[in-house]
């Protein structure tokens, strides 16, 4: 088991990691957290557990449209998911997490490791205190790993990406117990118990 001291993440390193392949910073999202229209009811839209978006039971085939809808998605304190604009708010169904993290990469800057994740809708985040990584277990004991994307919205980490995390994991003491954990931005995240 490794002893570790407090490692400080560099906010500028995280900003560099969030840039796209052309070096462009992420585009801003609509300020859905500031909008409070009255709910207009339910929309027959569903996000399946595999990340597929459906409208009236039919898959939405245009990735640009899915990306647009994902940019106005909000998960409110009532437990429901909404598509929201300044004047309209409609409830939709989400089977699990609304996003799927399909890519992960590991980099190191000035001795600090960073794990960068990308979702199917091209959201990019670095695992850190604001974007924690955690694992739940389903009824069969299968791991269900997640990462916070933004606000109250999470991404299920795709199985192949989780296998990458397992390869990168080391035995650490996190919250007083030994476990397999990965490090990012000076934080340790448990991904599996040791026993």
| Full residue range of the structural domain in which residue 83 is found | 32-94
pLDDT value at residue 144? 94
Q: Are residues 103 and 171 in the same domain?
A: yes
What is the reported pLDDT for 4?
Answer: 46
- Boundary of a domain, candidates 75, 94, 113: 94
Among residues 88, 107, 85, 93, the alpha carbon closest in space to that of 18 is found at 107
**Residue 56 in domain:** yes
* Residues 44, 82 within the same domain: yes
Q: Is residue 3 included in any domain, yes or no?
A: no
Looking at the fold, whether 131 and 39 belong to one and the same domain comes out as: no
What does the pLDDT read at residue 118?
Answer: 94
Closest CA to 81 of 117, 57, 53, 62: 53
- Report the distance separating Cα 13 and Cα 108, nearest Å: 9
Q: Enter the pTM of the model.
A: 0.83
151 within a domain of the structure (yes/no): yes
CB 157 within 8 A of CB 145: yes
Q: What pLDDT shows up at residue 167? A: 95
Q: 106 and 76 in one domain? A: no
Q: Residues 64, 134: one domain?
A: no
pLDDT of residue 31: 85
Tokens of 115: 């794990």
In a domain, 125, yes or no: yes
- How many structural domains does the chain have? 2
Segments of the chain scoring below 70 in pLDDT: 1-27
Residue 137 lies in a domain: yes
Residues 165 and 73 in one domain: no
pLDDT of residue 3: 42
Same-domain status, 189 and 103: yes
Q: Which CATH number fits the domain that encloses residue 129?
A: 2.30.270.10
Determine, yes or no, domain membership for 40: yes
CATH of the domain at 65: 3.10.540.10
């Amino acid at each position: 088991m490794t002893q570790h001291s407090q490692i400080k993440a560099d906010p500028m390193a995280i900003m560099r990691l969030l840039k796209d392949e052309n070096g462009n910073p992420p585009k801003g999202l609509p300020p859905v957290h500031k909008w409070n229209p009255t709910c207009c009811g339910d929309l027959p839209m569903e996000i399946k557990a595999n990340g597929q978006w459906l409208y009236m039971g039919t898959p939405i085939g245009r990735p640009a449209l899915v990306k647009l809808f994902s940019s106005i998605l909000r998960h409110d304190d009532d437990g429901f998911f909404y598509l929201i604009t300044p004047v309209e708010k409609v409830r939709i169904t989400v089977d699990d997490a609304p996003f799927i993290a399909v890519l992960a990469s590991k980099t190191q800057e000035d001795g600090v490791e960073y794990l960068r994740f990308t979702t199917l809708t091209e959201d990019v985040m670095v695992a850190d205190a604001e974007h924690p990584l955690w694992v739940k277990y389903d009824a069969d004991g299968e791991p269900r790993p997640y990462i916070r994307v933004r606000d109250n919205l999470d991404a299920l980490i795709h199985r192949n990406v989780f296998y990458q995390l397992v390869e990168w994991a080391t035995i650490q003491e996190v919250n007083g117990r030994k476990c397999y954990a990965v490090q990012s931005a000076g934080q340790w995240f448990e991904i599996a118990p040791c026993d």
